[in-house]
Amino acid sequence: MSAATGPVPKIESQLTIDKLSQHSISCPPIDRDILNNYLSYLVKSQFIVLPVHNFRSYALTKEKEPDLS
């Protein structure tokens, strides 16, 4: 089983970063660990539901599984 294919969305945040930096606010770059933390929180708080087939795909591809503890 492989990851879904399709266009990769381009997220442009430079204007936001520039405005925040004027107030000495900086944001860390989004990486796999940070995104995992955000998604884990949303699942734990039941704001989103983790689809069963996506969870299984992590095991099949041997990628890092979401931390749901």
Residue 2 CA to residue 4 CA, distance in Å, equals: 6
**Mind listing the pLDDT tens digit of every residue in the chain (69 residues)?**
456 678 887 888 889 989 999 999 988 888 888 888 888 899 899 998 877 665 555 555 555 655 666
Domain boundaries, the chain: 30-69
Token reading at 49: 């539901």
